[in-house]
Chain A
Amino acid sequence: MGHIDSSLQDSSATVHATAERASMPASIYALPTELIGEILEAWQALDPSAPESAVCVCRSWRSIALSMSTLWRVLTLGSAGIKVPLWHTRSHGRIEHLRLLANAIPRYFPMFGTLLDSAQLARLCSLECRLPEWLRYDVLRRMPQLRNLRVVITGNPVTLVWEVLASLESLRILDLVNAYPQDDRPLPFPKLRVVRLQCHEGAHLLRFLLKTCSGLPLEEAALSLRQAGDKAITHPNERDLVNLGSARCDYESLRHLRLEGKMDWHLLTSRLYLPDLRTIVMNNFPSPSAAACFGDLRPLEAPIRSLTISTHDHLAIEEGLSILIQLEGVPTLEHLRITGYLSDTFLDGLGEAYQPNLAHIDLSGCEGVSPAAAVRLAIARIESGHPLRRITLNGCPWVTPDLIPLVQDIGPTVEYSQRIAPIIPRGWSNWTFAQR
């Protein structure tokens, strides 16, 4: 009985304290410790170095941050300081993610090595390396559990020798920026599912998917041609084309494909067989290539549900999508996002297009369209028997205040805000330093 009484007293005290807190103005001081911890975790998900700032805010935040070992599992090494022993202690010996930044001073590299010895590299899950000097077999072979590898090189590109990476048998995500494969030999990573390559040479991008990754059960691929001054290297020459061969390349598990940059992507898409492709993102596409790629969609016979096209080349969008409409497109398409410039005429055509499952059209940031065309689109989809459920008009300069209720009265929900969502769809395997 005494126990129940004391429990009731405790509960009463809790309720009283909660009621007292509620009468205060909104204050960070009013939040319980666990909630501050949740905020710090969410902050760190945005910025891996957030805990370093959190410990300098106040006594309470410092105490909370230091008590959360999960916050200290991401170690960033640059020229600002060597913190390995400190992080080792705070993470209770469980540093899982390592970032080696390019601003580290070369003469301290030997000391880096000594300190990293104490960091138990065998437990590392992610390595982001901006220092090519550290891409050595004797370093990487000590990271057998590495699942995510990101190599970012600024300045002159580097060539990666696969033998150096051969020990990374658990690798699942490989993200290369300005780092080329050594040659066309297949990647020696049986568990690899996600690849990304950004570089200045179109031929490298084509070969990466057609040759280097062939045979792997990839689920997601992103190829990006970075801004190149010389047109000659953005388009494969005769020798490159011969090297590519004409054989079809099968990726039966590939679900998401992102292609970015002004080059002739038809050279790639026409050779791919992607029976399970769900999402295509085409960013900054040139005109003839987009049209050709849309022509590839049907031969792919993929159950594509989501298509995103982002380019300021309005011919690319309109020619490409016209082909999509003429071909009666991809019957599985549910979500279509277009960012760039569109004409009313094109939007009218889209209203009449046969896409039985198309439920969401996202015109975020689109220019050149009139409010009347958006209304006609909503009506035309109803008349065609395939009404839209949602239209997104975020950041559209032509949207007027009276347009939104007008379209909503017709049927579809309208999303409208000033913020435009990133082109990369949510749910893709983004590079994060996951805590759990």
Chain B
Amino acid sequence: MSITLISKEGAQFLVSKPVADRIGVVRDCAYGADFWLGYAVATDDSMGITLANVTSSILSKILVWCEHYKDMEPLVDGDSNMEFPEWDMAYIGHDMNQILFVLEAADYLHIPGLLLLACKGIADVLDGRNPRGICDLLGIVMDFSHRQEVDMDKENGYWRWFLHPT
């Protein structure tokens, strides 16, 4: 049995059932759930499922992961300390923009194993960077309130503050 997955742009991907079963949303769709929540829409009776929030490029990347793990039991619950095979680390890479898209899609599609892998990929990129470097990398604005800045000054100078609280 095959299932057609339709990306945001309308591109169709014909996948086998074991591959599609890796995707939680699709798995649930096969049993008729999640339609009411609007996560996925069956286009016709031949199991075409539209994944309106996933672009073609990200969907094709995700399907590579699903194909690789089609014969394994899906991960139900993970751990941030779990280790990933070399293949996974090569797959996720270091392109922060793409990892963020994969993370978002893995969350939307309910794929816990891929979600943890994407978090690990992001953590690898963040590791060794200072807060300013992280802000520059991710386009984050340091938007602390005055009170938070005072708190942070106190924390960073906690040693001095502890010795000389006055």
Contacts and interface: CB of A to CB of B under 8 A. Distances in A.
Interface in A28-50: 28-32, 35, 38-39, 41-47, 50
A55 B155 CA distance: 11
A42 B124 CA distance: 9
B120 interface: yes
A196 to B, nearest CB: 18
Contacts of B83: 426-427, 430
A227 interface: no
Contacts of A35: 103-104, 107, 115, 119
Contacts of B140: 28-29, 57-58, 61
Nearest to B87: A415
A42 B115 CA distance: 11
B97 A26 contact: yes
Contact of A42 (B116, B128, B148): B116
B154 to A, nearest CB: 9
B130 interface: yes
A182 interface: no
Given A44-B80, A57-B140, A15 B38 contact: yes
Contact of B81 (A62, A415, A417, A435): A435
Contacts of A50: 123, 126-127
Given A38-B115, A45-B80, A57-B140, A394 B86 contact: yes
Contacts of A53: 129-131, 134
A28 B139 contact: yes
Contacts, number: 140
Nearest to A22: B53
Nearest to B82: A45
A58 B85 contact: no
Interface string B17-59: 0000000000000000000111100000000000011100000
Contacts of B120: 42
A159 B100 CA distance: 49
Interface centre among A14, A19, A22 (most CB of B within 10 A): A22
A256 B152 CA distance: 46
Interface string A269-283: 000000000000000
A384 interface: no
B159 A58 contact: no
B55 to A, nearest CB: 8
Nearest to A41: B80
A436 interface: yes
Contact of A43 (B116, B126, B158, B162): B126
Nearest to A413: B87
Given A31-B100, A62-B144, A39 B119 contact: yes
A80 B104 CA distance: 37
Interface of A: 11-12, 14-15, 18-19, 21-22, 25-32, 35, 38-39, 41-47, 50, 53-59, 61-62, 80-83, 86, 392, 394, 415, 417, 419, 421, 426-427, 430, 432, 434-436
Interface of B: 8, 36-39, 52-54, 79-81, 83, 85-87, 89-90, 97-98, 100-101, 103-104, 107-108, 115-116, 119-120, 122-124, 126-131, 134-135, 138-145, 148, 152, 155-159, 162
24 contacts: A19-B52, A22-B53, A22-B104, A26-B100, A27-B100, A27-B138, A28-B138, A31-B103, A38-B80, A43-B127, A46-B124, A53-B130, A53-B131, A53-B134, A57-B131, A58-B135, A59-B148, A80-B159, A81-B159, A83-B155, A392-B86, A421-B86, A427-B83, A436-B79
